[in-house]
Amino acid sequence: MTQSFKSPFNQSLTLTLGHLYPDQLNLYGDRGNILTLRRRCQMRGIELRVVGLGMGDALAPDEYDLLFIGGGQDKEQAPVAQDLYEVKGIGLWAAIEDDMPVLAVCGGYQLLAHYYRPAEGPDMRGLGVFDAWTIHRGWRSQRCVGDIAISWNGSTLVGFENHGGQTYLGTAKPLGRVLKGYGNNAEDHSEGAIYRNTFGTYMHGSLLPKNPHFADYLLDLALRRKYGARLDMLSTEEPEASNGANHSGLSLISGSTNGIVPTATLVQKSTILLTQLDDKLEWEAHASILERLGLHSEAAAVLRRLKG
């Protein structure tokens, strides 16, 4: 049953997501990430507005609460790289430095690093958000294709990767450690990168559908960034509220992790707005990929926690 939550000032909860280059960067089901965020908000009575930001559109950071940029082929990435740097760069940097949650997948991830060197043609200049760079060693080099599983915050993330470029991290912190698959470069077991609340990854549109805890983590970051100060104040005023509920009807729950990941590893503050959903199918799909990759103990742990 969908629940409708109000803020401490009796306002409906809304989030606005900026979808960068929805027509150019949309490979391998990357729209599935948008659909997942929309659905998980809808089931909680939270309105998620999705606004497309195409070529030539400026990015006004105060108009959005979270951002998403997907992956594309090299021929699509070249004009996007120029537009990202020249048109959207200042606004995107401002949003990132203000801790807005940003998810960048594959090509989008590469363009948030220093540069992407394609198999043919000149380097594509990135924004340099991540201290990292990507090199495609030619069409005869092995592509990184297939299911992937990584360790993340005491749990696992699973997904699908398909990239010819190999990304190398400088001082950037990786999103996680590769358990099976290729990751950034098939060499150092790193996958993705993190800067503040910006997350780069090679896992495509199966990422959020098969990882409900990561989807909720992004939504939690966005909600706490927008409403957190008022919620923290409310939580401080009513420390004895029972069962995590208060007079405003808000669900003050320490972690929306569906029993899979210890809350302390996910959430820095205690007050968030996400109630748990029935994610049985999502976690079974998650466990199925772990089984397929031969990660039997990790799959069994997921299923045990799900039953518990």
Of 19, 41, 106, 286, which is the active-site residue?
106
Q: Residue 291: which H helix or E strand, with range?
A: helix 280-292
What's the CA gap between 247 and 96, in Å, rounded? Answer: 34
Q: Are strands 155-163 and 124-125 parallel, antiparallel or unpaired?
A: unpaired
Q: How far is Cα 138 from Cα 118, in angstroms, rounded to an integer?
A: 8
What amino acid is encoded at 131 in this protein?
A: D
**Running DSSP on this structure, what letter comes out for residue 256?**
-
Q: Specify whether 204 is catalytic.
A: yes
- The dihedrals phi and psi of 13, each to the nearest 5 degrees, come to -85, 125
Radius of gyration of the chain, Cα coordinates, nearest whole angstrom: 19
For residues 284 and 212, what is the distance between their CA atoms, to the nearest angstrom?
Answer: 11
Residue with tokens 């910006």: 198
For 133, residues 6+ apart whose C-beta sits below 8 A from its C-beta are: 113, 114, 115, 116, 117, 126, 167, 168, 170
Is residue 73 within 8 Å of residue 136, measured between CB atoms?
Answer: no
Task: Please indicate if the annotation marks 143 as binding a ligand.
Answer: yes
User: Is residue 213 among the annotated active site residues?
Assistant: no
Neighbour-count burial of 46, counting CB atoms closer than 10 A to its CB (0-12 exposed, 13-18 middle, 19+ buried): buried
Whole-angstrom distance, CA of residue 241 vs CA of residue 231: 13
Query: In the chain, what is the greatest distance between 2 CA atoms, to the nearest angstrom?
Result: 64
Catalytic residue among 19, 136, 163, 204: 204
Binding-site residue set: 143
Residues labelled catalytic: 106, 204
Binding-site residue set for substrate: 143
